Amino acid sequence: MLKQGLQQSQLQKLSPQQIQFIKLLQLNSVDILQRIDQELIENPALLKSSDSDAAPDETAPISESELATPEEEKKDLTVDDYLADESFDVKEYVNDEYDPEGFHLSDEGDEEKKERPLAESHSFHEELMEQFTAIADNEKELTIGNQVIGSIDDDGYLRRPLEAIANDLAFSMNVDASREELQKVLAKVQTLDPAGIGATTLQECLLLQLKRKDQSLRTVKTAIEILTHYFDDFTKKHYEKLTRSLKITDQELKDTIHVITKLNPKPGEAIDNTATQYITPDFILIEELGKLVVHLNSRNAPDLRISKSYMETLKGYDGAKAPTREQKETAQFIKQKLDGARWFIESIKQRHNTLLMTMNAILKFQYRFFVEGDESFLKPMILKDIAEITGLDISTISRVANSKYVQTEYGTFALKYFFSEGIQTDDGDEVSSREVKKILKEAIEGEEKSKPLPDEKLMDILKEKGYNIARRTVAKYREQMNIPVARLRKEI
């Protein structure tokens, strides 16, 4: 039975300006510059201060309450809405006591900006295609080879089934390729450099590399036999079974394993055509008058202003006693662009204030580490700790910590590095989980490789040092450090 009724509910919605601020907040110093450039292209009312049309620096920015206005009140009105709205007053808007206050991202001034040359390089797939072109028998084989090579993942493996590649050729290029033709082309692709390229499994990848070595060597022949017939035992490190099945000594098995471990499990990474990537720190810690001070590293970001001509054009409509529809449409367009520019400038300012507030709180919390540079001085710190110091939400702190870096006297660190869980010792002191991980790593590095330490033994070592930690916690920390279980760490 259908019923009609009224229901009242309370909802909390983010305004477009708040959403814009959240998105800007999680960008690092490189991405924010790209985002500013994008906004400069999309919004003609937003300019750099160096532009001749940039408005002067005269009035106050919009308030935080205006940024937080609900979406229903801030939605973009249509032209018809404005035509029907007699209250729209251009003069009132122009005299709104807002000027695009310039925003200095640093105190560096107009320092000369140096161009960085871009390294010319070939992509991974272009490199392979150049090699294949030299060995292809005909045009059809070249087309099939291009499709096969294009399906190879960046690590060098072909994980796409040949049937799917055949369908791609038929539908997109109108080429009918049989399975035999595809297998012939794949065999040729697998002869390309680096060795192991185009393999469908790890086992095949390693065998392709071994078959290019001198097979008269006993270690190479044994390695091929192990990977062909005893691959599962090899991956599980059942060394006693291998020596028994192959009738070889422990030393011969050790020499053979040494050959296998020298192979490249990801041959695609051997072709490195990317330019060297550098971390651009978002913050720089500088000692000033005996104290550490946080600076934002954003000197290449432009000062932002609103277009003077857009403001003057809008003022021109103030004199029109009976504006036409076209004039009102133009006024609406200009108003939208000016609003977008002023909200963007305010979001950028709010972003940088939030970044500085958060980094200063981290500096205060971990001050001894930043002074001494010793990892053991890192205190347990979670997002909630910084949120309480700054008065910001935990989600805001999380966005700031994401993909941001700080440059210190002792190196450049990700902000996430300073966050860790707290563990209580037998003495009642609270220490960072990072210190426990350091002890675990040292214990594993110093273990006898033929008899690696199981998690239970690692737990006992920690208890001897005053850290009462359960075995499952030891396993969790070991996995976080990408250290395998004892059985897989075993060596002959």
Residue 444 has pLDDT above 50, yes or no: yes
Residue 12 has pLDDT above 80, yes or no: no
pLDDT tens readout for residues 167-204:
989 888 888 989 999 999 999 999 998 899 999 999 99
pLDDT band with cut points at 50, 70 and 90 for residue 462: confident
DSSP readout, 300-323? Answer: TSPPEEEBHHHHHHHHHGGG-SS-
pLDDT computed for residue 95 by the predictor: 45
Q: How far apart, in whole angstroms, are the C-alpha atoms of residue 400 and residue 420?
A: 16
For the chain, what percent of residues have pLDDT higher than 70?
77
pLDDT computed for residue 112 by the predictor: 38
Lowest mean pLDDT among 92-101, 134-143, 152-161: 92-101
More confident residue, 402 or 10: 402
Lowest mean pLDDT among 12-26, 99-113, 344-358, 379-393: 99-113
Q: Please check whether residue 439 is in contact with residue 467, taking contact to mean a CB–CB distance below 8 angstroms.
A: yes
Q: Please check whether residue 299 is in contact with residue 105, taking contact to mean a CB–CB distance below 8 angstroms.
A: yes
pLDDT computed for residue 215 by the predictor: 85
Residue 488 has pLDDT above 70, yes or no: yes
pLDDT computed for residue 338 by the predictor: 87
Cα→Cα distances 405→186, 386, 469, Å: 44, 16, 31
Q: How far apart, in whole angstroms, are the C-alpha atoms of residue 107 and residue 298?
A: 9
Q: Which two tokens stand for residue 338?
A: 């000016």
Residue 376 has pLDDT above 60, yes or no: yes
pLDDT computed for residue 428 by the predictor: 59
Q: How far apart, in whole angstroms, are the C-alpha atoms of residue 372 and residue 366?
A: 10
Mean pLDDT of the chain: 79
Q: Please check whether residue 98 is in contact with residue 343, taking contact to mean a CB–CB distance below 8 angstroms.
A: no
pLDDT computed for residue 277 by the predictor: 59
Average pLDDT over residues 233-249: 88
Q: How far apart, in whole angstroms, are the C-alpha atoms of residue 376 and residue 329?
A: 64
pLDDT computed for residue 389 by the predictor: 93
Sign of CA pseudo-dihedral 479, 482, 485, 486? negative
Shortest CA distance to 66 belongs to which of 338, 393, 399, 342? Answer: 342
More confident residue, 80 or 324: 324
Provide CATH code, domain 422-489.
1.10.10.60
Q: Please check whether residue 118 is in contact with residue 368, taking contact to mean a CB–CB distance below 8 angstroms.
A: no
Give 412's strand partners. Answer: 407
More confident residue, 42 or 21: 42
pLDDT computed for residue 463 by the predictor: 85
For the chain, what percent of residues have pLDDT higher than 90?
25
pLDDT tens readout for residues 63-122:
333 433 333 333 433 333 433 444 444 444 444 433 433 333 333 333 333 344 444 445
Q: How far apart, in whole angstroms, are the C-alpha atoms of residue 74 and residue 91?
A: 20
| Strand, helix or coil for residue 342 | helix
Rounded to two decimals, the pTM is 0.54
Q: How far apart, in whole angstroms, are the C-alpha atoms of residue 286 and residue 284?
A: 6
pLDDT computed for residue 373 by the predictor: 86
pLDDT band with cut points at 50, 70 and 90 for residue 19: confident
Q: Which two tokens stand for residue 332?
A: 């609406």
- Domain range summary for the chain, segments of one domain joined by +: 41-107+278-419, 124-192, 194-272, 422-489
